[in-house]
Amino acid sequence: MPAPTDRLTRFSVPPLAQSTRRLADVAAGRAAADLVICGARVLSTYTDRILPERELWIAGGRVAAVKPNGAHKALADAPGEVYDANGGILAPGLVDPHIHIESSMVTACAYAEAALLNGTTTIFCDSHEIGNVMDVAGVEAMLEDARQAPLSIFLTVPSTVPATSPQLETAGGDLTAEKIGALFDRWPEAVALGEKMDFVQVAQGDARSHAILAAALSRGRPVSGHIYGREFVAAYAASGVTDTHEAIDRDIADDLLDAGVWIFLRGGPPTTPWHSLPEAIKTITELGASNKRVCVCTDDRDADDLMLFGMDWVTRQAWKAGMTREQAWAMGSLHPATRFHQDGEIGALGGGRRADVVLLNDALEVRNTWFGGTLVVEDAKVTPVLDAALSDRWVYPKAAYATVKIAGDPPLVPAPPRTPCVANTLRTALPGIVVLHERVALKSGETWDEIIRESGEDLCFVAVIERHGLSGGGESRVAHGLLKDFGLKSGAVASSVGHDSHNVIVAGTNEADMRVALDTLREAQGGVCVVDGGAVKAFVALPIAGLLSDKRVTEVAEETRVLKEVWAQAGCTIPYMGFNLIPLSVIPEIRITDKGLVLVPQMTIVEPFEDARAAAE
């Protein structure tokens, strides 16, 4: 298995090929183990059973054997260390098959802290966010960061950068089939193609989309997916896509499994757009499908939610939804490892596997985590050895701190219509993924306050500003629209994390506060903020590519907690992560990019305001 180069050598584990003689000697009792974890029950992900009264023998960072409890006492040579699990459950470290590190708003080195606290020892990340901002340089910066992190991190190479054509939005990156192939060839941790989000183009046989698929398939790499709509499943599967985390309900999940596509049940806090697990899992609990090609994943987490709702929480949600404890943990460990052909290395406590081990209580709550046989979390707290590693983070290049390139002072509010018109509004609704296209009749007026009041609707302004320095001329390109039912009482909110091209999105009730919000992000080179009355009420600075903080995850989690609290107090009806999706022009029904309002799936731009008489005709 290709493994990340680990500069933190105390966490390195030699390849199995270099370890077999030692492991055989330890397993046979001819040599002493480095570590024995005794007094435990062992969760076997191979047989979906919990084995009573066992102990785990570890040598060279790998599992030598699972033995009856107390077996080490009969050996002539005592192990280097004995750790008493006091009756707890030993299980393999969790394997998250689909995440975006950038969504956590911290670097890979910082992400590792929360992951290990939650019992996650391996992740497969899709870094399309930083790829959209910095092209190949951004993806490779993330890989360098990941190599120094005390965590096993693999890359599913970003496949859809930009997400749509340049006619519909402006991105900072353009990952062609040639660039993607080169990433596979240069980086051994690039093990799969990331989520192919342009599912409409894939189904329609778009040449660029299929060239990118070929770059992965010709190298024997699996292809990850992202799909909405049962009508696309057959063509999508026929194009070589073999997993997706976007199985949002029972029926499409069932279609996907029968088409040979793995499904990743996405579990997220119910207040966010990411909690589709309870519905999609019904393909198993109601329709009788097997769980053998079903995993769980987190997908997107901000730093606050990452600490509270990690992969361990998602596995418990699968248990709550009808799986046994053993099945749920296997869906979070062995199944993802198997999907990415890594089950000979991770995902279980079989002999020769990497000693990524967690100690659980009966509620599947993580108490300890061993990473490559090193104790990094004990009693739900970071150990000194991990704390030292977390303080030695990789430093991103200067170019990553200079990516918000907004020229001039583009207008953030359109001129009020002088004649009656019909507005193509973007209506937000929970959970915040889909944005609905709603046409609203507007009367003419001298001011927007007058026009909005007369409409009787909950309307506020929204603008997307191109921030990659690619607009040309002396002022950055901006597109305007109206949000409906967003609920903002006053002031403005803004984010440089406008998926997926990551232009800046600003919404507000007045242009003055929108301007303060935009200037705040411009000065800090990225972030998410809430402004009211000309004052910044909450702000998370994201100076790395406008996406990441350079602080520890605990600090960013607290900043994010405050942001969400102030966001809710401002009246916003969808969470800020849902707000970040408003420019994502591959999800129905309507979106706004720096090029204008995009109708999905037609992939055409529509004017924000249409003459009332022409619209009636």
Spatial separation of the C-alpha atoms in residues 435 and 482, rounded to whole Å: 12
The answer to whether 390 and 150 have CB atoms below 8 angstroms apart is yes
3-state secondary structure 78-129: CCCEEEECCCCEEEECEEEEEECHHHHCCCHHHHHHHHHHCCEEEEEECCHH
pLDDT confidence of residue 16: 95
> Judging by DSSP bridges, how do beta strands 421-427 and 366-371 pair with one another?
unpaired
The torsion angles phi and psi of 202, rounded to 5 degrees, stand at -60, -50
pLDDT at 5: 42
Interatomic CA distance for residues 155 and 405, integer angstroms: 28
In order, the DSSP letters of 38-66 are EEEEEEETTTTEEEEEEEEEEETTEEEEE
Predicted pLDDT of residue 445? 86
Q: State how far the Cα of 541 lies from the Cα of 330, in Å rounded to an integer.
A: 37
- Fold matches, 9-90 and 91-379: no
Q: What is the pLDDT of residues 509-529, one digit of tens each?
A: 999 999 999 999 999 999 999
Average pLDDT over residues 440-451: 92
With a cut of 90, say whether residue 547 has pLDDT above it.
Answer: yes
What percent helix, strand, coil does the chain show, rounded to 5? Answer: 30, 25, 40
Quote the pLDDT of residue 433. 82
pLDDT of residue 2 exceeding 50, the answer is no
Token pair 């500069």 is found at 7
Strand 120-125 with 152-157, pairing: parallel
Adjacent-strand bridge partners of 513: none
Chain segment 400-438, per-residue pLDDT in tens:
999 999 999 999 999 999 899 999 999 999 888 889 999
pLDDT at residue 200 in the model = 86
The token duo for 383 is: 């150990």
Is residue 505 classed as helix, strand or coil in its secondary structure?
strand
- When pLDDT is cut at 50, 70 and 90, the band that residue 587 belongs to is confident
The pair phi, psi for residue 371, each rounded to 5°, is: -115, 110
Predicted local confidence at residue 617, as pLDDT:
54
Distances, alpha carbon 585 to alpha carbons 48, 168, 248, in Å? 41, 8, 18
Residues of the chain with pLDDT > 90, as a percent, come to: 89
pLDDT for residue 86: 98
CA distance readout (Å), 196 to 160, 227, 243, 566: 6, 8, 10, 35
Q: What is the mean pLDDT of residues 557-581?
A: 96
Average pLDDT over residues 157-186: 94
Dist CA 123 CA 357 (whole Å): 15
β 535-541/190-196 pair status: unpaired
pLDDT tens digits, 356-373: 999 999 999 999 999 999
Compute the half-sphere exposure of residue 442: CA atoms within 13 Å on the CB side of its CA: 31
What integer pLDDT is reported at residue 613 of this predicted model?
67
pLDDT of residue 614: 61
List the one residue out of 254, 270, 311, 364 whose CA is nearest residue 99: 311
Nearest by Cα to 403 from 59, 97, 141, 10: 141
At residue 8, does pLDDT exceed 50? Answer: no
Radius of gyration of the chain (CA): 25
DSSP state of 544: B
Q: How far apart are CA 205 and CA 292, in angstroms?
A: 30
Question: Per-residue pLDDT for 226 more than 80?
Answer: yes
For residue 12, the model assigns a pLDDT of 81
Q: What is the pLDDT of residue 431?
A: 80
Over residues 96-100, mean pLDDT: 97
Q: Per-residue pLDDT for 582 more than 80?
A: yes
pLDDT of 10: 55
Domain boundaries of the chain, sorted by first residue: 9-90, 91-379, 421-616
What pLDDT shows up at residue 344? 96
Q: What is the mean pLDDT of residues 461-472?
A: 96
- For residue 461, give the 3-state DSSP assignment: strand
Q: What is the pLDDT, as a whole number, of residue 163?
A: 83
Task: Give the right CATH number for 91-379 from 3.40.1160.10, 3.40.50.720, 3.20.20.140, 3.20.20.80.
Answer: 3.20.20.140
Please enumerate in sequence order all residues whose Cβ is within 8 A of that of 253, keeping only pairs 6 or more positions apart, or say none.
Answer: 247, 263, 280, 281, 282, 283, 289
| C-alpha to C-alpha distance for 559 and 154, rounded to whole angstroms | 28
pLDDT score, position 603: 86
Dihedral sign from CA coordinates of 341, 345, 346, 350: positive
- Would you say the C-alpha torsion 180, 186, 187, 190 has a positive or negative sign? positive
User: Looking only at Cα atoms, what is the longest distance across the chain?
Assistant: 93
Fold of the domain built from segment(s) 9-90: Urease, subunit C; domain 1 (2.30.40)
pLDDT band at 3; cut points 50, 70, 90: very low
What confidence tens digit (pLDDT) does each residue in 282-323 have?
999 999 999 999 999 999 999 999 999 999 999 999 999 999
pLDDT score recorded for residue 516: 98
Q: State the pLDDT at residue 9.
A: 47
- Cα of first residue to Cα of last residue in the chain, in angstroms, is 63
- Whether the bond into 178 is cis, omega within 30 of 0: no
How many whole angstroms separate alpha carbon 590 and alpha carbon 600?
A: 6
pLDDT at 4 over 80: no
Tokens 């004990």 belong to 378
d(CA 592, CA 348): 45
Q: Are 604 and 598 spatial neighbours (Cβ–Cβ below 8 Å)? A: yes
The residue with greater pLDDT, 445 or 171, is 171
pLDDT at 272 over 90: no
pLDDT at 581 over 70: yes
Contacts of 184 (CB under 8 A, 6+ apart): 157, 190, 215, 216, 219, 221
Confidence of residue 439 (pLDDT cuts 50, 70, 90): very high
What count of other Cβ atoms lies within 10 Å of the Cβ of residue 144? 16
